[in-house]
Amino acid sequence: MRTRRDYSCEIMGIVVLTALSALSHFWYILIAICALTGLTLTGFVICRIFLRIGKELLAPLLFPAPRKGTDPVVNASVDIRRGSRPFSIRLGGVNQE
């Protein structure tokens, strides 16, 4: 008498191996994503540092500070007579006093 062979153990073994393989690949992919994110952030931080250093080194060359004692001197006279207006505003070409 022949009995039918039960393949349930083999099927369960294949399912478990497939699941473990998928989990293994999942972790590899997750580690790769984390490594890529870390490298990207590191590159971003290094780029920011170099840009800041470059800006500080080039700032005196691009925007020189004015030297002391070279400020222009303005001599302005002010009319302080009674009834005089030192500032008159022109609106539409008409002088409003």
Per-residue pLDDT of 1-52, as tens digits, reads 577 778 888 999 999 999 989 888 888 899 999 999 999 999 999 999 999 9
Across the range 44-66, mean pLDDT stands at: 86
Across the range 51-63, mean pLDDT stands at: 83
Quick one: pLDDT at residue 39? 97
How many whole angstroms separate alpha carbon 14 and alpha carbon 20?
10
Structure tokens of 81? 């007579």
Quick one: pLDDT at residue 73? 59
| Residue 42 · residue 50 · CB < 8 Å | no
Q: Which of 33-37, 59-63, 86-90 has the lowest mean pLDDT?
A: 86-90
Who's near 54: CB < 8 A, 6+ residues apart? none
